[in-house]
Chains A and B, each alone.
Chain A
Amino acid sequence: MLKIANFRDLDKAYAEFKPRMALRTEADHKSFAKRELLICGGTGCQSSNSLILLEVLKKEIKAAGLEDQVTAHITGCFGFCEKGPIVKVFPDDVFYVEVGVDDAAEIVESHLKNNTIITRLLYKDPAQGNKPIASHHEMDFYKKQMRVALCNCGLINPEEIEEYIAAGGYQALALCLEKKKPQDVVQEMKISGLRGRGGGGFPTGIKWEVAAAQPGPVKYMVCNADEGDPGAFMDRSILEGDPHSIIEGMAIAAYAIGSDRGFVYIRAEYPLAIQRLQRAVDQSREAGLLGKNIFGSGFSFDLELKYGAGAFVCGEETALLRSIEGGRGEPTSKPPFPAQSGLWGKPTIINNVETLANVPQILRRGGAWFASFGSEKSKGTKVFALAGKINNVGLVEVPMGISLKDIIYEIGGGIKNGKKFKAVQTGGPSGGCIPAAELDINIDYDNLIAAGSMMGSGGMIVMDEDNCMVDIAKFYLDFTMEESCGKCTPCRIGNKRIHEILTNITEGRGSLEDLEKLKNLAEVIKDTALCGLGQTAPNPVLSTMKHFWDEYVAHVVDKRCPARVCTHLLDYFITDSCVGCGLCKRGCPVSCITGNKKEVHVIDNALCIKCGSCISKCPTKSIVRQ
């Protein structure tokens, strides 16, 4: 059993486990005497049977008598979720995508036995005429990425503490406890310029400094793992792929502020993340890296997991604290800030998962190293979750300051089906839409706010010409309205009224006066709501009104939806290509279609309920909406 009682024990463990990384990091491309297969074990790939694939691979390897030469195990998310499950072969540096269970035998036979790469399973780059690419280093998706928070995801086996130590894990904590005073740790964080990755963007070093300055022996360190933005999954991926980095980050933070007790507030809907993190906590505790007198330094710290029930508002730090305390997850007025009076009234710092994943890297490599990338006011890298109408759906980590265009067109591979880009929603439901005209902005906290959006936790949902922006605003309000805790008036009633006005507009009952009312209401909610959820909920409305005002006007004045999404505003027509088969007529629930056999039929739009049944039945695609 691994026991680390002092700093030298860690050095010894590192020396012992480091060779595990040999094939993965110091790849000797000439010798394939030994090989290692890493299979993504994240939630996404698991749902595509990656664990079964792993078992079958192991069986095939054994059957082929390659057990001594080849090992196969899981790792964390590679990020290229669009193409999962992913299998990476070391030291060849071959990246197989969309690998099915049936492909296992061929991988063993062709690649492992005969050293022949299976072209069929390689990524085909559409930008290069579908040329197969073997190494991920040559893929556009990875070329501009830089992995700090995700550095161990896709590299180590997250279920073994030895792997984390082999990758240099816990050395940052050892360095802090052996050589740095708490204020030096705070100083290093301030130099790094790291800002909270959960959405607020508050400088982490300053947060720690405030908490460290509070008197009293009892302080708490909380990790916010209540990732709630729809479509964002960077925190889940880190917890699943590199759980020890969070434990190490929390221990460093606790040392810096003078806390000995931590909580990870994690949503119960993340069963795999919970399982991996709990396993990591147990391993660290057993090894002596959590608990009393860590490294024999006199510093003690332990942590426990608290499960959230998945309320979006519990990502707001004061609501999160109330939930840990056992109360209703409702935010409270700030000040006092949690760093002054948090959990059970004691000074508490709350850092999000991605923020904490950066901490060990910063302490090991120095704040100045981290600050060397990024933009002037936003340092380091940021993980984004690409989703929506984009080719390469997945998780990417890029230096701050990269242009939105680069993310969408180079890393993201552009818009699906060759459609036209319309807007990208950043910052989840609390963010805003950024239109094509502003695609050149360099992404950082301040530029996104200036563009009427926000960083949020890093969600990026891409929309194309088929999206109606009024409908999009309504979609987000539907989410925030449901997720409001109901405590303050503007959020509880105001966001409901916004949603109702938007519904009226999309159903043809809106007026120009409503648009004025909507704008004023949205601005008042922003100014008066109690917490971040309420204050940012109107952002999708305000940003779409700012950039797509014409679409709103078309809905209320012309009673028309330019993107042809809002059903109530569409009329159905049968074009001349109709062959008069009568299928539409028979399927119409309100009998509003007339016409003789073999003649062009007609829809009475006064009766039509726009259910779309006729369109789905028409064999000649002769029915159109406009």
Chain B
Amino acid sequence: MVSLKINGKSVEVPEGSTILDAAGKLGVHIPTLCRFDLHDINLHNQGASCRVCMVEVAGRRNLAPACATPVMEGMDVKTHTPKVINARRVVVELILSNHPKTCLTCPKNTNCELQALAAELSIGNIGFSGKTTQHKIDYSSPAYVRDMNKCVLCRRCETMCTQVQTVNALSGLNRGFTTTVGPAFNMPIAESTCVSCGQCVAICPTAALSEVNNVGKVWDAIRNPDKFVIVQTAPAVRAALGEAFGLPAGVPVTGKMAAALRMFGFDKVYDTDFAADLTIMEEASEFIHRLKHGGRLPILTSCCPGWVKFFEHQFSDMLDVPSTCKSPQQMFGAIAKTWLAKELKVDPAKMVVVSVMPCIAKKYEAGRAEMAPGGVPDVDIVLTTRELAKMIREAGINFAQLDDEGFDDPMGESTGAGVIFGASGGVLEAALRTAYEWITGKTLDKVDFMDLRGMSGIKEATIDVAGTPVSVAVASGLGNARQLLEAIRAGEKQYHVIEVMACPGGCIDGGGQPYHKGHVDVLLKRMEALYTEDKTKVLRKSHENPFIKKLYAEFLGEPHSELAHKLLHTSYVKRPRM
């Protein structure tokens, strides 16, 4: 332990702690901007580049950044002297002097960390003016917008992209006043190896990175009397949406969400969980087929569009490994525009499928050519959880006070297996519940696979399936996925099934979710919400979903039938590594 003094008060902290840690222990608040630490996913952004957290340390000739200065025995720190306050104010005024002051219309208004910092320091007047950086706004991605004029060079996105996700699409560019962050040669992000996982968007302190806003498109569709507009909501959305309305993290708001969507005027309100059950039917069959017929193992899940694009870039020699199943979002759209349209007697050409996702890569996925057979997209418009929250606010709905409502049949029905898709390990757990019963012909009583749950980046287990040990692994976060895949490529590891989610912890931590602002406990509570909902369901295995049974009986025939193949499966594209 190291003992030091902060503002005259003594405190003891473990060796290696920073001044910021020590101040936190004493309840002394030092403002920060660039710093971002998500220990559980190995994200440490301690570049100490913004210089907001400067403090005075006795005996040091200049000020010290509290976030990156290790404590030393006997250190004497002052956090709010007039000198410090002046320096901090000058630094923030400098940042503001090169920031578009368009808060009123900014997507991050009221959610911006720079705005909050300016308020905290009571910046009333910006003492400096001069040239501002003029970067072209990058609208090339269908998932997110890069407005580098709003960037404060905290470099969180770069750290996330390189250290955690190992996508390496972002790095520092140029120098001096024109320094920015972007893909090599500052090419449009859509032409880079970016997979749109959105983890950069999730932790950007300003609106330099923000999702493509599709709210207007959805209102337009609903307002159009010629359109039949239906909506699906992904499992992870319900676990986080409440946070946007002041509800504690981990309170599932499934019923309120369905009620709000119906109030908007959607013609039908459905659940992606239904399609998650459908995915299991196809994926479990594919696995069993490969297992029994000596096919390529391991089989990799393919629900996550960020992960799909990642392996297309980074493991293009292994494109035969992933399952060919489309993701639940896309399966939903494909079934809605065929079977459902027939059931409801709606012209598929008039049907608009909207999905609400915790993810921005889903916006990209819906636009992939493979996802629009015959030029008709499975899914028309994708919203994130954050955009849904904006719509609810715009519609004047008192969300917390809403009475619960259910989803519409048939595509609103789901099992517990569909619900847990939203947490890392959930897809694999759901698949095992079904595959076990199909392989063994016996009922699986213990449906909870605890080894596969939680925030760990890589989880492994071996499951005894009728005497055959089936070894499985789960990776969340693309850096962890890379580690697993490289081990497989090198022949160091063998598995039967691997689930990969691009976002650390799975969809509950998706790039489209309400901002967690660095609080990992929020993510754990969201996970918990999904497993609780699973537990309360009567049906917890996908193949038991009565409407799934109906779908196969009346329309698809059986898993992997020719029609199922046409509608529910896809193919992959070789993409460049750089």
Tell me the minimal C-beta distance from B324 to chain A in angstroms. Answer: 38
Given contacts A500-B131, A528-B87, 8 further A-B contacts (CB under 8 A): A333-B48, A335-B69, A482-B176, A484-B176, A492-B153, A494-B91, A520-B86, A530-B51
- Interface residue? B94 (CB, 8 A): yes
Contacts A497-B130, A526-B62 hold; do A487 and B171 have CB atoms under 8 A apart?
A: no
- Interface residue? A481 (CB, 8 A): yes
A-B contact pairs, 26 of them (CB 8 A): A333-B48, A333-B65, A333-B69, A481-B176, A482-B175, A486-B177, A486-B179, A488-B49, A489-B91, A492-B176, A493-B94, A493-B95, A493-B98, A494-B90, A494-B91, A496-B130, A496-B131, A497-B128, A524-B86, A524-B87, A527-B63, A528-B51, A528-B90, A528-B91, A529-B51, A530-B65
Identify which of B94, B174, B179 contacts A497 (C-beta below 8 A). Answer: B94
- Interface residue? B50 (CB, 8 A): yes
The answer to whether B63 and A528 have CB atoms under 8 Å apart is yes
B50-75 residues at the A interface, CB under 8 angstroms: 50-52, 54, 62-63, 65, 68-70
| Contact partners of A494 in chain B: CB under 8 A | 90-91, 94
Tell me the minimal C-beta distance from A509 to chain B in angstroms. Answer: 12
The answer to whether A527 and B95 have CB atoms under 8 Å apart is no
Give A503's nearest chain B residue, CB to CB.
B130
Which label, helix, strand, loop or mixed, suits the secondary structure of the A interface? helix
Tell me the minimal C-beta distance from B247 to chain A in angstroms. Answer: 36
- Interface residue? A521 (CB, 8 A): yes
The answer to whether B54 and A527 have CB atoms under 8 Å apart is yes
Tell me the minimal C-beta distance from A321 to chain B in angstroms. Answer: 15
- Interface residue? B47 (CB, 8 A): yes
| Contact partners of A520 in chain B: CB under 8 A | 86, 90
- Interface residue? A328 (CB, 8 A): yes
Identify which of A311, A482, A492, A535 contacts B62 (C-beta below 8 A). Answer: A535
- Interface residue? A181 (CB, 8 A): no
| Contact partners of A483 in chain B: CB under 8 A | 175-176
A34-80 residues at the B interface, CB under 8 angstroms: none
- Interface residue? A461 (CB, 8 A): no
| Contact partners of A530 in chain B: CB under 8 A | 48-49, 51, 65
Tell me the minimal C-beta distance from A313 to chain B in angstroms. Answer: 8
- Interface residue? B255 (CB, 8 A): no
- Interface residue? B178 (CB, 8 A): yes
- Interface residue? A167 (CB, 8 A): no
A to B contact number (C-beta, < 8 Å): 111
| Contact partners of B576 in chain A: CB under 8 A | none
A305-340 residues at the B interface, CB under 8 angstroms: 311, 313, 328, 330, 332-333, 335-336
- Interface residue? B172 (CB, 8 A): yes
| Contact partners of B83 in chain A: CB under 8 A | 527
- The answer for the CA separation of A483 and B178 in the assembled complex, in Å, is 11
Count of chain A residues with a beta carbon within 8 Å of a chain B beta carbon: 34
A532-558 residues at the B interface, CB under 8 angstroms: 535
Count of chain B residues with a beta carbon within 8 Å of a chain A beta carbon: 38
- Interface residue? B469 (CB, 8 A): no
- Interface residue? B97 (CB, 8 A): yes
| Contact partners of A431 in chain B: CB under 8 A | none
The answer to whether B62 and A527 have CB atoms under 8 Å apart is yes
- Interface residue? A249 (CB, 8 A): no
- Interface residue? B295 (CB, 8 A): no
Give B72's nearest chain A residue, CB to CB.
A335
Tell me the minimal C-beta distance from A332 to chain B in angstroms. Answer: 8
Contacts A490-B91, A497-B97 hold; do A528 and B54 have CB atoms under 8 A apart?
A: yes
A474-529 residues at the B interface, CB under 8 angstroms: 481-490, 492-494, 496-497, 500, 517, 520-521, 524, 526-529
Q: Give me the interface of B with A, judged by CB distance under 8 Å.
A: 46-52, 54, 62-63, 65, 68-70, 83, 86-87, 90-91, 94-95, 97-98, 127-128, 130-131, 152-153, 155, 171-172, 174-179
**10 closest cross-chain pairs (CB), A and B:** A486-B179, A500-B130, A333-B68, A493-B94, A524-B90, A484-B176, A496-B177, A333-B48, A528-B51, A527-B63
| Contact partners of B178 in chain A: CB under 8 A | 486
The answer to whether B128 and A486 have CB atoms under 8 Å apart is no
Contacts A520-B86, A521-B90, A524-B90 hold; do A486 and B97 have CB atoms under 8 A apart?
A: no
Contacts A488-B50, A489-B49 hold; do A335 and B70 have CB atoms under 8 A apart?
A: yes
The answer to whether A489 and B48 have CB atoms under 8 Å apart is no
The answer to whether B175 and A485 have CB atoms under 8 Å apart is yes
Tell me the minimal C-beta distance from A429 to chain B in angstroms. Answer: 14
- The answer for the CA separation of A183 and B306 in the assembled complex, in Å, is 55
Give B54's nearest chain A residue, CB to CB.
A528
The answer to whether A486 and B86 have CB atoms under 8 Å apart is no
Give A488's nearest chain B residue, CB to CB.
B49
Give B174's nearest chain A residue, CB to CB.
A486
| Contact partners of B54 in chain A: CB under 8 A | 527-528
Tell me the minimal C-beta distance from A319 to chain B in angstroms. Answer: 11
Tell me the minimal C-beta distance from A541 to chain B in angstroms. Answer: 15
| Contact partners of A527 in chain B: CB under 8 A | 54, 62-63, 83, 87
Give A528's nearest chain B residue, CB to CB.
B51
- The answer for the CA separation of A386 and B435 in the assembled complex, in Å, is 81
Tell me the minimal C-beta distance from B147 to chain A in angstroms. Answer: 18
The answer to whether A490 and B94 have CB atoms under 8 Å apart is yes
| Contact partners of A490 in chain B: CB under 8 A | 51, 90-91, 94
- The answer for the CA separation of A490 and B65 in the assembled complex, in Å, is 13
| Contact partners of B50 in chain A: CB under 8 A | 488-489
Among B46, B51, B152, the one with the most A-chain Cβ atoms within 10 Å of its Cβ is: B51
The answer to whether B177 and A481 have CB atoms under 8 Å apart is yes
The answer to whether B51 and A488 have CB atoms under 8 Å apart is yes
The answer to whether B62 and A484 have CB atoms under 8 Å apart is no
Contacts A493-B97, A497-B97, A535-B62 hold; do A486 and B176 have CB atoms under 8 A apart?
A: yes
- The answer for the CA separation of A517 and B128 in the assembled complex, in Å, is 9
Tell me the minimal C-beta distance from A339 to chain B in angstroms. Answer: 15
Give A311's nearest chain B residue, CB to CB.
B175
- The answer for the CA separation of A492 and B34 in the assembled complex, in Å, is 15
- The answer for the CA separation of A527 and B89 in the assembled complex, in Å, is 13
Tell me the minimal C-beta distance from A286 to chain B in angstroms. Answer: 39
- The answer for the CA separation of A482 and B177 in the assembled complex, in Å, is 8
Give B155's nearest chain A residue, CB to CB.
A487
- The answer for the CA separation of A333 and B175 in the assembled complex, in Å, is 18
| Contact partners of A486 in chain B: CB under 8 A | 153, 172, 174-179
| Contact partners of A487 in chain B: CB under 8 A | 47, 49, 153, 155, 172, 179
| Contact partners of A332 in chain B: CB under 8 A | 47
| Contact partners of A529 in chain B: CB under 8 A | 51
Give B89's nearest chain A residue, CB to CB.
A524
The answer to whether A492 and B130 have CB atoms under 8 Å apart is no
Give B67's nearest chain A residue, CB to CB.
A333
| Contact partners of A484 in chain B: CB under 8 A | 175-177, 179
Among A313, A335, A486, A489, the one with the most B-chain Cβ atoms within 10 Å of its Cβ is: A489
- The answer for the CA separation of A493 and B176 in the assembled complex, in Å, is 8
Give B91's nearest chain A residue, CB to CB.
A489
- The answer for the CA separation of A311 and B171 in the assembled complex, in Å, is 17
- The answer for the CA separation of A313 and B48 in the assembled complex, in Å, is 17
Contacts A333-B68, A489-B94, A524-B90 hold; do A496 and B51 have CB atoms under 8 A apart?
A: no
| Contact partners of B171 in chain A: CB under 8 A | 328
Give A327's nearest chain B residue, CB to CB.
B171
| Contact partners of B177 in chain A: CB under 8 A | 481, 484, 486, 492-493, 496
| Contact partners of A492 in chain B: CB under 8 A | 153, 176-177, 179
The answer to whether B95 and A489 have CB atoms under 8 Å apart is yes
| Contact partners of A313 in chain B: CB under 8 A | 175
Give A490's nearest chain B residue, CB to CB.
B51
Give B178's nearest chain A residue, CB to CB.
A486
| Contact partners of A328 in chain B: CB under 8 A | 171-172
Tell me the minimal C-beta distance from A452 to chain B in angstroms. Answer: 14
Tell me the minimal C-beta distance from B172 to chain A in angstroms. Answer: 5
- The answer for the CA separation of A483 and B51 in the assembled complex, in Å, is 19
- The answer for the CA separation of A472 and B155 in the assembled complex, in Å, is 34
The answer to whether B51 and A489 have CB atoms under 8 Å apart is yes
| Contact partners of B98 in chain A: CB under 8 A | 493
Tell me the minimal C-beta distance from A507 to chain B in angstroms. Answer: 13
Give A328's nearest chain B residue, CB to CB.
B172
| Contact partners of B130 in chain A: CB under 8 A | 496-497, 500
